[in-house]
Chain A
Amino acid sequence: MLDREKVREIVRKYPERRGALLPALHLAQKEYGWLSPEAMKEVSRALNLPEATVKGVATFYAMYRRVPAGRHLIQICTNVACMIFGAERLVDLLKERYGLEPGGTSEDGRFSLMIMECIGACDRAPAMLVNEDYHPDLNEERIMTILEGYK
């Protein structure tokens, strides 16, 4: 369930209720792992906003997921600095090892993969986020060791 008290607390920070929409969507996604039609309905009820409004906003932003995600979300950057230091090879490796396609989820539901634009770690490229953890300085060996830590 979406924490209504928390939503009310967020709403108080804005002069209009709708300001709380992005934070409420983040909250719902944290709760359910993705924004299912039901989750979006809940957000629309909690903020008293039309469902179409909620959906329109949720579909605009890359970080809101509208398909179920795996237990851990890998967000790997392939922008210029990371590309130069071999990020594309790492993406191939994730496919070989876990059958992960960009935008997809592994069959066992363990990982989902998203290709990112720059995540602000170019000085230690290539880099990825796993859930909310930053992992810079990747290479083929390191990425495997790191991911094995996420069961």
Chain B
Amino acid sequence: MDKFLLRGIEEEGSAAIASYREKGGYAALEKALSMKPEEIIEEVKRSGLRGRGGAGFPTGMKWDFASRDPKFPKYLICNADEGEPGTFKDRPILEKNPHLLIEGMIISGHALKAEYGYIYLRGEYPGAKVVLEQAIEEAYKEGLLGDDILGKGIKFHLSVHQGAGAYICGEETALIDSIEGRRGQPRIKPPFPVNVGAWGMPTIVNNVETLSNLPLIVSIGGEKYAGIGNPECPGPKIYSVSCCVKKPGVYELPMGTTLREIIYTHAGGIRDDRPLKAVIPGGISTPVLTPDQIDCKMDFVNLPKVGSMLGSGAVMVFDDTVCLVRVCWRALRFFEHESCGKCVPCREGTGWLRNILERIENGFGRKGDIELLQDVAHSMAGKTFCPLGDGAANVVLSFIRQFHDEFEHHIEKKECMA
């Protein structure tokens, strides 16, 4: 498959508008501006595009909800908070191919009749901020942004809003609070942001990678797009592969490529040809898999069949030298740190889980600790205000389910198997 999202990013100066235009950039925008908003939404529905931010929600459906709401103004927010550990798929678009995202956002703005867009960029990407702001300035200069885009009477303004180091602001309602200048804590749903979002107005939040698919959908049409990868959730997908592989990095492949192919064909296999021990397929919040499960296709429909999720498509690969109790402990330290404190099961539970894992890891594990971990996790799962707490609980449950022996060994022998 030809690369689309990451096309040409290895070339020097790929972020400049001239170089983007050389690759055919902004041709899709011209086509989109001659289409009616409803026609674009139809194409998106036909394409079968599902959101790349983690939940995999059908984009066309979300857009339909938003466009049916009669309130104006509407806001379009690009979620560039990319904070899920293991994930670095949006960063190459932001830093090396920013005009793809900007073109996607202008098209989306037109389709949704949203005249104001924001890119909510995580504070830890200062380099991307510089690149994006420069790209936005270029786009204004060439009449691609502003009150009268390319003389077509369409208005769209875009700016970057920099976050300040809170993972929870990746959750769309917390993100909206943060844009409004508040502490970023999730809001109760419903009402959904598509009806009551930023400043009480209909707001569409989509991930960087999701919006970057728009130029492709418009240029080849929804039907053809639906033929890429798995027909149930089609399109190109960026997988970010890290930890114990020979060639960690980002790989743009058709949605539904198997984990085995990603690890062994694209990422070069396990470092020093060691045995594979475990894989986290979609970022730290997704349940861990064992080596016999890697023939699974990496997409929104197949990973749930083996008890995990696609999440952000961040593949974390562990060989036999890695202590999984330690990985699990570090994951929980992350969740404890990032819990926003709004609800009790998550605020207290993440600390408890981290604490018990820490003593097991340090050789002070007690008999019954595994059951205790499960007990605490069960009293969190399904009972937290937002998916962060749920994720934390499920990570612990999946590690224990898949690698029970390793936890037992730690507790009984006071040492690691790895």
Asked whether A116 is an interface residue with its Cβ less than 8 Å from the other chain, the reply is yes
Segment 229-243 of B: residues with Cβ below 8 Å from A: 240-243
CB distance from A98 to the nearest CB of B (A): 22
From B73, B83, B165, B249, give the contact of A61 (CB < 8 A): B165
CB distance from B132 to the nearest CB of A (A): 14
A binding-site residues for B, Cβ under 8 Å: 13, 15-16, 18-23, 25-26, 49, 56-57, 60-64, 75, 78-81, 83-84, 116-125, 129, 132, 134
Q: Contact check, A15 vs B199: say whether CB atoms are below 8 A apart.
A: yes
Q: How far is the CA of A134 from the CA of B165 in the complex (A)?
A: 16
CB distance from A26 to the nearest CB of B (A): 6
Q: Contact check, B86 vs A16: say whether CB atoms are below 8 A apart.
A: no
Asked whether B56 is an interface residue with its Cβ less than 8 Å from the other chain, the reply is no
Mask of B285-319 contacts with A, CB within 8 angstroms, 1/0: 00000000000000000000000000000101010
Asked whether B266 is an interface residue with its Cβ less than 8 Å from the other chain, the reply is no
List 10 additional contacts besides A64-B164, A79-B85, A79-B334; criterion CB under 8 Å: A15-B73, A15-B116, A26-B123, A49-B181, A61-B123, A81-B85, A81-B316, A118-B85, A118-B334, A123-B250
Mask of B146-189 contacts with A, CB within 8 angstroms, 1/0: 00000000000001011111110000000000111111100000
CB distance from B243 to the nearest CB of A (A): 5
Q: Which residue of the partner chain A has the closest CB to B249?
A: A123
Q: Contact check, A19 vs B180: say whether CB atoms are below 8 A apart.
A: yes
Q: Which residue of the partner chain A has the closest CB to B168?
A: A60
Q: Which of B33-41, B323-331, B373-381 forms contacts with chain A?
A: B323-331
Q: Contact check, B164 vs A62: say whether CB atoms are below 8 A apart.
A: yes
Asked whether B269 is an interface residue with its Cβ less than 8 Å from the other chain, the reply is no
Mask of B119-130 contacts with A, CB within 8 angstroms, 1/0: 000111111000
Mask of B63-102 contacts with A, CB within 8 angstroms, 1/0: 0000000000100000000111111100100000000000
Q: Which residue of the partner chain A has the closest CB to B318?
A: A84
Q: How far is the CA of A84 from the CA of B284 in the complex (A)?
A: 14
From B159, B248, B330, B334, give the contact of A123 (CB < 8 A): B248
Q: Which residue of the partner chain B has the closest CB to A13?
A: B159
CB distance from A14 to the nearest CB of B (A): 8
Asked whether B337 is an interface residue with its Cβ less than 8 Å from the other chain, the reply is yes
Q: A22-B178, A63-B164 are in contact. Are A118 and B84 (CB under 8 A)?
A: yes
From A57, A75, A78, A79, give the contact of B181 (CB < 8 A): A57
Q: How far is the CA of A75 from the CA of B122 in the complex (A)?
A: 14
CB contacts (< 8 Å) of A56 on chain B: these are 183
CB contacts (< 8 Å) of A84 on chain B: these are 243-244, 318, 322, 327
Asked whether B338 is an interface residue with its Cβ less than 8 Å from the other chain, the reply is yes
CB contacts (< 8 Å) of A120 on chain B: these are 82, 87-88, 91, 122, 124-125
Q: Contact check, A122 vs B199: say whether CB atoms are below 8 A apart.
A: no
From B243, B318, B331, give the contact of A122 (CB < 8 A): B243
Q: Contact check, A22 vs B163: say whether CB atoms are below 8 A apart.
A: yes
Q: Which residue of the partner chain A has the closest CB to B157?
A: A13
Q: Contact check, A123 vs B241: say whether CB atoms are below 8 A apart.
A: yes
Q: Contact check, B327 vs A80: say whether CB atoms are below 8 A apart.
A: yes
Q: How far is the CA of A61 from the CA of B337 in the complex (A)?
A: 11
Q: How far is the CA of A26 from the CA of B165 in the complex (A)?
A: 12
Q: A22-B181, A79-B85, A123-B88 are in contact. Are A132 and B126 (CB under 8 A)?
A: yes
CB distance from B240 to the nearest CB of A (A): 7
Q: How far is the CA of A126 from the CA of B338 in the complex (A)?
A: 21
Q: A117-B85, A120-B82, A124-B248 are in contact. Are A18 and B124 (CB under 8 A)?
A: no
Q: How far is the CA of A64 from the CA of B91 in the complex (A)?
A: 23
